[in-house]
Structure 1
Amino acid sequence: MAAPRRVITKRRATITALPLYHSGALLKKYTGEKDFKKYYGELRGSTIFLYMDETQDTYTEKLDLHMLKSMEMDSPYVKTPTIFTLSLINEEVQLKMECPDKGEEWRGFIMTVANKEIPSKMQLLPGQIERLKQVLYDEKERLFPQTPPDLSKKSFIPCSSFLGNTQETDSPAANPPCFFDVSRQEAERMLTENPEYGNIIIRPSTSSYAVTLRQDNLSGPVFKNYRVLPIDRVLVIELDPPVTVHSLRDVLDHFLKETKYRLRPYVIPQVYDNKIEVPPMLDRSTKPVPHARVAPMIHTQTACADMPPTTPPPDPPCQTSDNNGEYIKVDVPSKPSVCTRPAKVDEELRTILKARRENLYKAGSHD
């Protein structure tokens, strides 16, 4: 069973990370091909993603409208299939719509996101025109997502505080989303490997800033680098003539306006999850064995008579050189007892010693 269309649309959004402006069936072929092929197209941002059908999650081809040079209609607006020829930088593509009304609607959306303005002559209903106005507003906000700064405040942050700081805030002096702490070679590599992310990078340079652009010409991609100098609390773009602005966001705004929004800032899209998974149950059947708590031993002094007799450890055998390797025990005098003698024994010893002294005294007197 095929997944619902809403689910498939959400899956595609996690892959492309671009807002969906318009979608529908169409036919496409390159100049020189004989037959048209059926596709399901989605206009996300300034790119048309082509799917084999409505149930396909991953796009088969894509057309970058920021490389669009012109769009011409091969047949007038009559009750016949409408065919458009899109002249891109490196190729020409023809789009065909069976219904002229659908073709006119596609033309309005394509021209709006490509030129950043609504075509003057359109045979659309008022509701469709309002939808184009909303798409134009959303696309400009996507390419340049900030409120124009108040130039009267002239807020400026020194160069040292910008280096390595890519945090976005609502302050006009905050870094634009396309600010990266990279070198010129790294910036050109980023623009080459991911052109769908944008083609403008603002980066730090030696005691200044720089703007790296990637433009697609007939001869191939061309990189250009411009220097921006901080002078007297303002930023000076080294052009002919020089342009003075008050923040890096103003620098980006100037390049977007001068290129008629054909270029867009390099912004890495963030992919969000669209499913909530239940974590696995933990096995709590085996409980940990609690550690035993033992009270500390209290050592008290006891009388020697109350203590049990202790047996001294056996003495180690001693090897001698005259007994052919046999071992004998060495007599070691035992340690004197720590215990004091009882009072009765002391009294008897004193009596015996006294008697001996008296006998010796008597014997000496007889001599």
Structure 2
Amino acid sequence: MALPVPPPQPAGARHYYEGFVQKRGPRDMGYRRVWAGLRGPLIAFYAVPRDRQPLEMLDLSELVAVRAEGGGLVLQMRDQNVTLKAESAEAQEMWRGFILTMAKMKVPSDLVLLPGHRFQLLEALREEQERRAVPRVPLFPSCFYNVSRGEAEQLLERSAGSGNLVLRPGGHGHGVSVTTRQMLNNTVLIRHYKVIDLGQDYCISVDVPHYCSSLAEVVQYFVEKSKGCLRPLHSEYNQKLEFVETDGENGEMLQGVYEPPPPRTQAPVLPDPEPPAPHRPVLQPPEQGESGQVGGN
């Protein structure tokens, strides 16, 4: 039976492709039936279709290869293998097409699909390209530092007592990371968490993935769930003037940074020479007579 071609999804749809699958991963005892939805570089797995918070997420930026094996699709990731079984051969081929398209940003040429299904893939690819082309201007909290993973660890060590959580650029390429530092029985515990930028939302990649609408909400999540044990390390002052402005050509909101002009080279200013000392006449002492008195008439 041929897979029916679904109607085109409207702009801003929740997922490019979705449906029930049988999933098995490293933490699964066996296959379990979940609702899967693909949006951009992520596959979210839900208990039921109406759920908003997923049970877990799969980041396709870490995809190495996809192969057919045992009646399913084996997704070879950098650190794990995940197997998906769709409810029909056609649906499984659609999943393979969407997974490879979003991971490689190119529709595979070896897909066995109807023209309508290929059109759906092309439309999803076009929308994803447009979404990635529009620069997102996130509002960074004061605990965001433009540092690497190692620099974040050193920063928290130097600032012990002032805060134990910082945001930093994500090493995974799309989003930010959270670095925390705590002490347990004189042992340093450092943890790093991935926060994925979904375009309109952020997803904190933990055991039960959590969506946030802003980076400030991401920070609040860690503070609340740790019952205040995690405290952001705030930067008191910015070193550069930053602002958000509107592009005059396309109306997009862009983040700007004021760069002061380099100082001009000037000739050194020499101090004024000291004026000459005023001329003072030399006074002669009055003549004295033989008796030692001043002479007179």
TM class by smaller structure? 0.3 to 0.5
TM-score (norm 1): 0.37
Structure with the largest fraction of strand: 2
TM-score (norm 2): 0.45
- Structure whose CA Rg is larger: 1
